[in-house]
Amino acid sequence: LDNETTNDLESIVRGHLVKFSRKDVPECGAFLAGSALALKELTDRVPSLCVTLDIAAMCEAGETIHQWFDLFADRIIYVRLSDGRKASARCICGEGIFPMARFLCQLQSHGYCGPLALPLGGDAYDDPSRADEQNWKAVCGLLAEEGSGK
């Protein structure tokens, strides 16, 4: 973003009682912010801007939860707990290849206690109620697994 756009964004964000968040989103194979480091440059220029951590986008970029918390710490206000199978192939939590239980443990170890989103992916749009139920069962199972120390 150029300086004028950055200044406009900062004045909009600062002037509201709500928090604005920006995330790294794969769009046709390209990231809007380029990477967590590029997003960090933006948040440094717009100090009031918060960050959304999208697990699938993070994995697709080859980044880690530890890197995100090192860069953004308390500016992460929202986490999309999205699973995936390969680049840009989103799926219901637990149906992909990402180590979701490990990610939940890492979020907890960094003290994250904000909202978790369970997005629908792929074929889930055909039957969102079923997908939502599967998402909740998967996350409850992961949390129970983490709680038992497995």
- CA atoms of 123 and 50, how far apart (whole Å): 31
Is residue 133 within 8 Å of residue 75, measured between CB atoms? no
* pTM value > 0.85: no
Question: Token digits for 52?
Answer: 């959304």
Could you read off the pLDDT of 5-38 as tens digits, one per residue? Answer: 656 666 666 665 445 555 544 443 434 455 788 8
Distance from the Cα of residue 116 to its chain's centroid: 9
Average pLDDT, the chain: 76
- CA atoms of 104 and 33, how far apart (whole Å): 24
